[in-house]
Chains A and B, each alone.
Chain A
């Protein structure tokens, strides 16, 4: 029981990171029906941006708590802004010229952009793994059990609390933006009927750009969290995390915002629990099998909307 609880905490943490990335996939898919395969690499680039800013600020574990929080907010904002610029630029340069072209064109371009970003980071930052010393230590022991096998403590680290809290806050903010603001309404309108949206005076190109910007900003949050949590990054992390987050988006129902969050959590939990109880080598197999099973029985995903609503 205690062991399960511990894995649950770990799984939710991992799932939060996947969920943040998955939102970018799902929003872009919702609005232009394209899988942005370069999204995982935006996440990777932003984790490098975060590492650079942290190093430049000289943030270490001995920095005081207040200062660390201030510095991390600065890092977060910087990473979000720069990642947004990357997101905006790739859309403007690579995808927009192909809009109205055949369906596979932007998809293949996205794979190309992914390769470009990976190589760009590999060349400018080096191919080796970049470590970061932990800067947030400690945590809380929720419960301990002592038995014949020794002691087992269920712990939640401050880092995990930070990840979960930041994820909840940001997802709430973004959900409110989509539900209540004129930008969010414009995004939903473009998602449902792009031509009609333009007939009502919505600047569709700008709305699509903003969607890429928002997705990239959330990926940047995930990038920083990943860096702080695992402490190592390299130019290839975007691929694996991207595929997982994409799986999460499809699992939750691609195009659905709550679906992406739920899908992220499910994938994170499956991976963690599988590693804990079965074999760690097959955790990816477990996650992808789950996707296959869900898609067989629920082709639109967990929270996806059925294709046709009414005439």
Chain B
């Protein structure tokens, strides 16, 4: 335990108006890991992602990235610390081309790397290369998800936050996207924090996982442990114990 984690979330609480969405969440992501957060709808998974990015801001607690307290930094400066998010609902710029979307992703990175990063993104998702000059809004759901991930990668992140990349996609596309995530982690050593409802896939992919219920983390362990856990099987996996 000599090395400090890349991302540390300590007792974070977040409110939407008077409604408390996060009730003291503590978790961490170590460098080089894939960590997943699973939980039901409305458990606060996406809220945790957005709170890490400073929008909404944590009302209490601390978020530490690479030893630096980022709890109160403005969102655009948090991004500058090389944290990139592929958000829930993908949020592609619909009236910009695929290429322009990728340029937007590279806002904070050194322009010297742009061509190399672009080639890398197209290598990962060849479909995007074919659609380069097409408007984001005209892409299919799966292509938009690829674009959202590729756009996040253009920021040369040290930590990639992925919010439900499998949502609403065909099983084959889901598989493709999970393979891409795995490749990024294994080949490029990218640290990934993944929020998923598709618990089975996510836990199989991840080194470690957390289970969130009603704004608190109730369970944590390695991917294998959680997959084997009765509690997780019953609540989140199809055909689980029952």
Q: Chain A: residues with CB nearer than 8 A to chain B?
A: 182, 185-186, 188-189, 192-193, 195-204, 305, 309-311
4 smallest CB-CB distances across A and B, nearest first, come from A201-B108, A201-B79, A309-B137, A196-B91
Q: Interface segment, B17-25, B29-37, B57-65, B95-103?
A: B95-103
> For the complex, what is the distance from the CA of A101 to the CA of B137, rounded to whole Å?
29
CB of B206 closer than 8 Å to a CB of A: no
Please name the residue on chain A nearest to B161 by beta carbon: A199
> For the complex, what is the distance from the CA of A94 to the CA of B31, rounded to whole Å?
45
CB of B208 closer than 8 Å to a CB of A: no
Given contacts A196-B91, A199-B53, contact A189 B76 (CB under 8 A): no
Please name the residue on chain A nearest to B140 by beta carbon: A310
Given contacts A198-B55, A201-B107, A201-B108, contact A188 B79 (CB under 8 A): no
Q: Which of B55, B85, B91, B104 has the most CB of A within 10 A?
A: B104
Q: Which residues on A sit within 8 Å (CB–CB) of B100?
A: 185
**At the interface, is chain A mostly helix, strand, loop or mixed?**
helix
Q: Which residues on A sit within 8 Å (CB–CB) of B91?
A: 193, 195-196, 199
Partner of B93, one of A196, A201, A305: A196
Q: Which residues on B sit within 8 Å (CB–CB) of A203?
A: 76
Q: Which of A192, A200, A202, A309 has the most CB of B within 10 A?
A: A200
Contact A204 B76 (CB under 8 A): yes
Contact B103 A185 (CB under 8 A): yes
Q: Which residues on A sit within 8 Å (CB–CB) of B107?
A: 182, 186, 200-202
Partner of A310, one of B75, B93, B103, B138: B138
Q: Which residues on B sit within 8 Å (CB–CB) of A201?
A: 76, 79-80, 107-108, 155
User: In the complex, what's the smallest C-beta–C-beta distance from A205 to chain B, in angstroms?
Assistant: 9
> For the complex, what is the distance from the CA of A241 to the CA of B93, rounded to whole Å?
34
Q: Which of B74, B80, B93, B95 has the most CB of A within 10 A?
A: B93
CB of B209 closer than 8 Å to a CB of A: no
Given contacts A199-B53, A202-B76, contact A311 B93 (CB under 8 A): no
Please name the residue on chain B nearest to A309 by beta carbon: B137
Partner of A192, one of B95, B103, B155: B95
Q: Which residues on B sit within 8 Å (CB–CB) of A311?
A: 141
User: In the complex, what's the smallest C-beta–C-beta distance from A27 to chain B, in angstroms?
Assistant: 15
Please name the residue on chain A nearest to B75 by beta carbon: A198
Please name the residue on chain A nearest to B100 by beta carbon: A185
Partner of A195, one of B55, B95, B108: B55
Please name the residue on chain B nearest to A204 by beta carbon: B76
Contact A198 B76 (CB under 8 A): yes
> For the complex, what is the distance from the CA of A119 to the CA of B122, rounded to whole Å?
58
Q: Which residues on B sit within 8 Å (CB–CB) of A189?
A: 93, 96, 104
> For the complex, what is the distance from the CA of A198 to the CA of B94, rounded to whole Å?
16
Partner of A188, one of B95, B108, B151: B95
Q: Which residues on B sit within 8 Å (CB–CB) of A195?
A: 55, 91
Contact A199 B93 (CB under 8 A): no
20 contacts between A and B (CB under 8 A): A185-B100, A185-B103, A192-B94, A192-B96, A196-B93, A197-B104, A198-B76, A199-B75, A200-B79, A200-B107, A201-B76, A201-B79, A201-B80, A201-B107, A203-B76, A204-B76, A309-B95, A309-B137, A309-B138, A310-B94
User: In the complex, what's the smallest C-beta–C-beta distance from B160 to chain A, in angstroms?
Assistant: 13
CB of B44 closer than 8 Å to a CB of A: no
